[in-house]
Chains A and B, each alone.
Chain A
Amino acid sequence: MTQVFTRPESLKDVATHFCPGCNHGSVHRLVAEALDEFGIRDQTIGVASVGCSVFLYGYFDIDVIEAPHGRAPAVATGAKRARPDRIVFTYQGDGDLAAIGMSEIIHAANRGEDLTVIFVNNTTYGMTGGQMAPTTMPGQKTSTSPYGRDVAKDGAPFKMAELLSNLDGVAFSARVALNSPKNILQAKKMIKTAFRYQVEKKGFSFIEALSSCPTNWGMNPLAANQRVTDEMIPYFPLGVYKNTANL
């Protein structure tokens, strides 16, 4: 009998701490598959961020640096400048990347650092218990927006894939989702393309992955998945926003 589906080599054989229905596990797997398929696992440095994604080193079988909250693009810049022959990626959530780390991501992107950034947007601060994030949707109730996000007071959610695609330094920017087999296959293709940019030294690549957060949304996994379809994707449209080298 031929085994046709296995755990990627770049992932350790351990259970994750992610909640049922969370898409972090899927994104981890797709990133690991990309590392395996390019054969770059042993030359890759991952940069973990603060939040649910902090345990990256527990799941990926690669060398990892843990960055302060929001600073992963600066840490990755230092690592890549010091070791330009290595593949360096950051893995960040929405609070980390689009709030406290907005300066670091914008400037790393604008410098066109040869990095890959995996940005998981679940519209909330997961690890700290579901507070309002920079991507929390208008009207969305969270533990710090109990009456719903008030755009007049809190501003509108950041659309990071679009925002970064406007910078000359960005070579590739795309938004994907993990809410259906079709979208997962598309996400895999996009994540692989993002790493291809770095493998071929073609510049800064950015993936925004829409993810559900059933625990902090107060939903079961199915309902949370449905919310990605019904609410998130219409507001955060999927697609490729920039692909300078047509990879």
Chain B
Amino acid sequence: MPVASSEKIFVKGNEAVAMAALEAGCRCYFGYPITPQSDIPEYLSRELPGLGGEFLQAESEIGAINMLLGASATGVRAMTSSSGPGISLKQEGISYMAGSELPGVIVDIMRQGPGLGGIDASQADYFQATRGGGHGGYRIIVLAPNSVQEMYDLTMLAFDLSDIYRMPAMVLADSVIGQMKESIVANPRPAVALPDKDWVVRGRKDGTPQNIVKSLKLGDGEMEKFHWMMHARYQELADKENRWEEVQTDDAELIVTAFGSTSRIARTAVAMAREAGLKVGLMRPITLFPFPKTAYAKLSERCKLFLDIELSTGQMVDDVRLSVARDADVLFYGRPPGTGSLPTPEELFEQIKKNYQARS
């Protein structure tokens, strides 16, 4: 079935991820069932065979990430998806992919934790996603959609960035964004200049030199050189690929900041504040790694009060604090994940009003 169309369609966030993967040319999917992301493998198990693709339900999350590693090493676009407990199991493979400079897309529809936790929305895996997650001091690209349209667009972007920068890319959402339905336009895959994959392992059929995909680096100075090279690549990512959205920040005296599902609620609360005559804006990072530090720094030259809102006891707030000017204050309001802990717009508006008035 052709994915791209100019007509509006009404789909779930998770379905939009699966559709975008197909449109992006992903023909290999490996996964393991876990709530709240199972719509993704269900969709792809239906559609991939007809497109000549491979859908494989792996024996485990570990199996799935290593199948992704193997497929990606041969140069094809491949994807896996999971949620908290499964993403934890995948960390070994993600670390090996990072060490082997392999692209590959990992979708994380966050659920609550620690442990088995629960299946409602959570943002408490921000650290796990943005700090690499596994061993060895690496980072991966992390994109945080806040709508079904962005689930589609950012999944497509994840494939491109992953190929360009040769590192795993994660789409980080939660059950609110994954499970809700919205109207979207399934845009065609954008024309993006991609580097040649001259490193792939595909057999030396055309007399090409031996290619090796590996993460073992025992040579004198080899590992240090690798880390500095990756460090430079992360810097290049930060210079070129930062993405964020600002709403009414020009004259704001207080800037609310939130990502993903929470930013949707925050946006309603900001509109309520504006209606009440408060000069409040919203700053929403779309890339969580790279984190749009320079955008925060610029905003904080003028606005000295930030209110970070998360579905956790505070994780992204650390990055906000590290990004803003020294004389700017970063306040925090969070609700740890749990059934019934999703804040209401009114609740966030009260927080905004209280802090805004205390300052003026």
Contact = CB atoms under 8 A, between A and B. Distances in A.
A97 interface: no
Interface string B28-66: 101000000000000000000000001010111011101
Interface in A14-51: 41-45, 47-48
Contacts of A81: 28, 54, 56, 67, 71
B210 interface: yes
Interface in B258-287: none
Given A74-B70, A78-B70, A66 B215 contact: yes
Contacts of A107: 58-59, 63
A106 B166 CA distance: 31
Given A65-B70, A78-B71, A82-B74, A103 B60 contact: yes
Interface string B196-217: 0000011111010011111110
Contacts of B56: 77, 81
Given A48-B214, A78-B68, A79-B73, A104 B204 contact: no
Contact of A83 (B63, B64, B96, B202): B202
Interface of A: 41-45, 47-48, 54, 57, 61-68, 71, 74-83, 86-87, 103-104, 106-107
A42 B213 contact: no
B293 to A, nearest CB: 33
A82 B48 CA distance: 13
A170 to B, nearest CB: 16
A78 B214 contact: no
Given A63-B201, A78-B67, A79-B73, 18 more contacts: A42-B203, A43-B205, A45-B74, A48-B214, A62-B203, A64-B214, A65-B213, A66-B213, A67-B69, A71-B66, A74-B64, A77-B63, A78-B28, A78-B73, A81-B28, A82-B74, A103-B63, A106-B59
A78 B207 contact: no
Contacts of A106: 59
Nearest to A40: B203
A44 B71 CA distance: 14
Given A66-B212, A75-B70, A82 B60 contact: no
B97 to A, nearest CB: 10
B138 to A, nearest CB: 14
A45 B30 CA distance: 20
24 contacts: A42-B203, A45-B202, A45-B203, A48-B214, A54-B216, A63-B202, A65-B214, A67-B66, A67-B69, A68-B96, A71-B66, A74-B66, A75-B73, A77-B63, A78-B73, A78-B74, A79-B74, A79-B201, A82-B27, A82-B74, A83-B74, A106-B59, A107-B58, A107-B59
Contacts of B204: 41-43, 62-63
A134 B71 CA distance: 29
Contact of B210 (A62, A75, A104): A62
A210 B214 CA distance: 27
Q: Top 5 A-B pairs ranked by shortest CB distance? A: A78-B70, A78-B67, A66-B214, A74-B66, A107-B59
A64 B66 contact: no
B100 A77 contact: no
Nearest to A72: B66
A110 to B, nearest CB: 9
A98 B138 CA distance: 30
B55 to A, nearest CB: 9
Contacts of B96: 67-68
B71 A79 contact: yes
Contacts of A43: 203-205
Contacts of B59: 103-104, 106-107
Interface in B169-222: 201-205, 207, 210-216
A77 B67 contact: yes
Given A75-B69, A79-B73, A83-B202, A66 B63 contact: no
Nearest to A55: B216
Contacts of B214: 48, 57, 64-66
Given A82-B74, A82-B78, A104 B66 contact: yes
A54 B81 CA distance: 29
B331 interface: no
Contacts of A74: 58, 62-64, 66-67, 69-70
B166 to A, nearest CB: 15
A53 B213 CA distance: 15
B76 interface: yes
A29 B203 CA distance: 19
A54 B203 CA distance: 19
B66 A63 contact: no
A145 to B, nearest CB: 26
Quick one: which of A57, A81, A107 has the most chain B CB within 10 A?
A: A81
A63 B201 CA distance: 5
Quick one: which of A75, A78, A83 has the most chain B CB within 10 A?
A: A78
B275 to A, nearest CB: 53
Nearest to B202: A83
A81 B54 CA distance: 7
A70 to B, nearest CB: 9
A63 B71 contact: no
B253 interface: no
B62 A71 contact: yes
B168 to A, nearest CB: 14
Given A61-B210, A63-B212, A86 B202 contact: yes
Contacts of B58: 74, 107
Contact of B30 (A48, A63, A78, A87): A78
